Each structure stands twice: as C-alpha cells, then as structure tokens.
Structure 1
C-alpha cells in the first residue's frame, strides 16, 4: 500500500459576490447548469428560491449568497448565474452562484483551518492560498443545517442493553472538520450515554491515537471524515495503518459524498468501512462490528 493511492483532491472555485472566491470539493458535484426557470416552493426558507428539474427529479435550489447572510442575487443577476447540482448527505441540492471560475487540483495539507475569531457561525472549513488569492472552502453541511434545521434532529436508534454496554466499554475517537457533522456524531453517542473523544482535524487525531496507545488505553474505534484540512481521512488512515507499533483501531471513514469512488479509495488505504453521512443507525451498527473485531 502506498500513500499515493489516496485520491487527488479537486476544488471548484466560484464567486458569490465581488471578486472573492469560494471553493467546494468536486466529488460533491453532479453537474453545473446555467440558470433555468424554477418552480416555486411555498413555505420554504428564504434562501430556497425554487426547484429545478434535474434528470427527472425536482431538486431544491438555494441562493448560496443569501444562505450565508449576503445579498441575494437579483433577477437580472440570476440570468447570468450558474446552478451547482450537488450530492451531499444522501440528497441532491442545487446552489445558485454568481459565477463559476475554474477547477483546481490541491493537496489538503495546504488547506489552513479558519481563524478562531470567525466564531462557530462561519460557513468556512478552511482557507487555501492559490497564487496569492485566499480561497474560502465552504462548510456546506453547516449551510444545509441552517436552511433545513430539522435535519439536525437526532434520529432515535434502539440498542439492546448488551449492545449499549459493549460500546460504552470502547475508546472511541471522532474526527470531523464540520461542526455540524461533529454535533451529529456526538448526538448519536450522547443519546446512548456512550463516551468518546472528538477533534476537528486529522493531525490532532493522530496525536490522540499515539498518546492513548502510549498510555495503555488505545483507541478501539476511529470514525473520521474524509475531506479535512491538513491530514485528511485517507492519509490519517494510511498513517495509522503504516505505524507498526500502534494498536490498530477499527477505522470507519465517514463522508458526505455519496460516491462509490470515494468509498473504494477508503478501502485502498486500509479503512474497515466507509459510510455516507448521516445515518445514526448505520454508524452505531458499524461500531458494533468494530467491537466484535476488537474482542
């Protein structure tokens, strides 16, 4: 196995207003369309401007500028705008943007975490310097949670007493750069009184893995996002598998991408499983499979 098996990361750059550029991973994107006539969607969030017909399905379209607190595009601006059709967290969503720029290839190690001064409400997961321009990577999961707050309501999952006690005995580490995803993961375990550790990036996760192993309480289950600034989920898994003295955890890579390609790369770097966000039942069942292996 080689670290070169990890997937090349590409970003679509686009504008919402002015010259500032934003980015979104191309693996999330199904298609880019010119603005089209939309069907009205009554009683929806103010940023949801209608539905587009995409391959026979009605896809809600969100004015991304309005969703992040900016000025919505005017009717005249919409005529020159683009709709980015995405596949995120098991649903197709269209995002209206002022203009699509280009696709670039990048290394997630070059992505910097956003300044803490931005606070928890910033729709940014990272910053990337591209030829002197600072590209802001949008936290699409947070954006969707603001537009569809019902998506954050924890799903009720039933476990037997034996299953609950089995998971409570494990040392579990959760890793995700999205605050929404971290909340979903945490809620799933909090609802069952299952303890865990959580961090927002792969570099910190690797340090926790090494520290806990040295202290004699190695991590049993590692649940990690794939796309993260710094050490992404693929490389984190590779580094864990490549560390000869480290007691090996059961690795579950967790991604908002509904993509067979991303899941196949997860297997190549040594992950035990790869799941599409977010299904609490699937996650807990995967952890129970990991518990069986840890015995």
Structure 2
C-alpha cells in the first residue's frame, strides 16, 4: 500500500489547474468513495488500537503512528452505518484537516485517479440536507461519493465558534450597513461556521457552494448594474470545491476588470501542505487555515476598518506549509 502514496509530494503541482487526484476507497460494500490526495499523509494497514475512555462512539481507538498519537475514526460508522468489523484487515487513511491529524478506518483502498474539478459535482438535490456527501463524480462508469469530512469532524470534536472578547471593534457593523460578505464553500458545515462568526459581528452574509456558483453570482450583480466592489466587504472562499476550485475562482476574479479589486481570502483545511506561492500566483489577498473564529473575525474586522478608512489591514497571516 505504500506504493499508492509514493508520489503524494509531487501531486501538489495539480493545484491551480482546477485539477485534483482522488484516492478511491470502499467501506462496507461495493460503493466507491473518494478523498482528495492533497489531504492524505499516508495509507497503512490498521495498526493496533488502544481504547480511550469516554470516546465518541465513532472513534475506534487511538494509534501511535510516527511518534504521534492519532485518533482512528470509523468512516462507515461516521456516516450512520454499521461499524467495520475485522479491523485488523482494514486500512487507515491518515489525513490532515483543520490543523489536526486524524485517521479514517476504511475497508479497502483502491487506487488514485486524476480528475478535473469540473467532473466533480454537488450532491443530487434529493440527497437531503443531512447527508454526508460534499460531492459526487463518476469513475469508469461507477458513482464515486465524496464524503463531507468536515461534517464528520465537527460531530466528533465540535469546534467553538465563539469569538474572544476584544477581537471585534465596537460598532463595526454600523460602518458597513449595506455591505455583506460572500462565503464560498462546498461543505455545508464549513459555510455555517463562517456564517455564524460573521453574522455574530452584525454583518450580513451571502452563501455559495462552489467557485462556479460564486462567479455566476458576481456576474449577475454586474448584469444588474451593481458593483460587487461596493456591495461586498470581501469574499471568503474555500480552495477545494466541485465545479471550480478556489484558486481558479480567484484567478477568474482577477482576470475580470470589473472584479479584480475584490478582496479574496482563501480559507481552507489544506493547512499542512498549503502552497504559499499559489496564493500569490492567483492573486488572493490572504490565506487562513480552517477554522479559528478569532482569526476569521479579525480579518473581517480589519477589512471593515480598512474600508471605512480607520485602519490598514494587519500583515497577512503566514501560510502554513
């Protein structure tokens, strides 16, 4: 299985080309699932697990891997199905999401496929609001489901969305009454996390689920005679999204003379392997690793002060990687 991940470090070159590579895996049946290789650190046979008291029921235990203690989450159990059995013959996909490392227990790992984000689509509308899918695609005539890992992690280990005292300037919302923040993310959980932080500041939000939908929204504003530069405080966009990723979205914004001055902040769980040069290449204004409500509120707060002429933005946060 080590051979599957041999060239992960070389795969970052796909970033910025609206392409990705999916690691395909199976859980309890024949259904294929996928996870972006960019999130994967390694794949290994399930190691010996140690039970921990009062753990979440989907956490099968912890393992000592490369000198670190890693929680092993049963992916099948996480999406409402039966726990995987015979786990000593299962595999663990070690990933990095939202500044932390975790392992996902799966039945078997298949292969890596190279795809274009335009081939990745949002879940069918009939899937319901509580499904665990963030996207779907097709490989060799077979449906591949991409699970909303951020939803799983939010349920396993909820993150506080409270902003610390002193971060938000008093009366910040009154400075930009008619303006709003555009939030772009394919994960419903991630969208809501950002929305709750921004709206706790008294600021309006508009939500879009991928880069293509966001571009269409911005273009529709222009067609209606509205100036997005005047209407929007900023755009906070994920990088990994179906149809059009955050890098391609940012590049599209910068290539349009009517949109090129929009403030775009990339907000992503790709923290461990983030390529700072890509942010500069596509012209994003800043990068934030998910999810820190204080950092998020500070960036919005400082942007509002900049708009109102009361402050300059602080130095951009350092990219992680």
User: Residue 176 of structure 1 aligns with which residue?
Assistant: 185
User: Residue 223 of structure 1 aligns with which residue?
Assistant: 236
Three-state SS of the structure 2 residue aligned to 1:181 is helix
Three-state SS of the structure 2 residue aligned to 1:69 is coil
1:189 aligns with 2:229: no
1:254 aligns with 2:262: no
Three-state SS of the structure 2 residue aligned to 1:207 is helix
Residues 1:275 and 1:32: Cα distance change in structure 2 (over 3 Å)? same
- Which consecutive residues of structure 2, in runs of 5 or more, have no partner in the other structure? 1-13, 310-321
User: Residue 125 of structure 1 aligns with which residue?
Assistant: 134
1:271 aligns with 2:284: yes
- Which consecutive residues of structure 1, in runs of 5 or more, have no partner in the other structure? none
User: Residue 36 of structure 1 aligns with which residue?
Assistant: 47
In structure 2, distance between residues paired with 1:172 and 1:235: 19
The counterpart of 1:282, out of the listed 295, 306, 312, is 295
Three-state SS of the structure 2 residue aligned to 1:206 is helix
The counterpart of 2:258, out of the listed 242, 245, 250, is 245
The counterpart of 1:199, out of the listed 205, 208, 212, is 208
Deviation at 1:171, TM superposition (A): 2.9
Three-state SS of the structure 1 residue aligned to 2:89 is coil
Deviation at 1:33, TM superposition (A): 1.4
Deviation at 1:198, TM superposition (A): 1.0
How many equivalent pairs are there? 289
In structure 2, distance between residues paired with 1:185 and 1:8: 25
Q: Is the 8 A contact 1:168 1:193 kept in 2?
A: no
Q: TM-score, normalised by structure 1?
A: 0.91
The counterpart of 1:25, out of the listed 36, 43, 51, is 36
Q: Is the 8 A contact 2:18 2:116 kept in 1?
A: no
1:67 aligns with 2:65: no
RMSD of aligned alpha carbons: 2.1
Deviation at 1:104, TM superposition (A): 1.1
Residues 1:5 and 1:175: Cα distance change in structure 2 (over 3 Å)? closer
| Residue-by-residue CA offset, 1:123-175 (whole Å, 9 max, x unaligned) | 11111111101110110001112222x32x42223312154444656431001
1:57 aligns with 2:54: no
User: Residue 87 of structure 1 aligns with which residue?
Assistant: 96
Deviation at 1:80, TM superposition (A): 1.5
In structure 2, distance between residues paired with 1:269 and 1:169: 29
Q: TM-score, normalised by structure 2?
A: 0.84
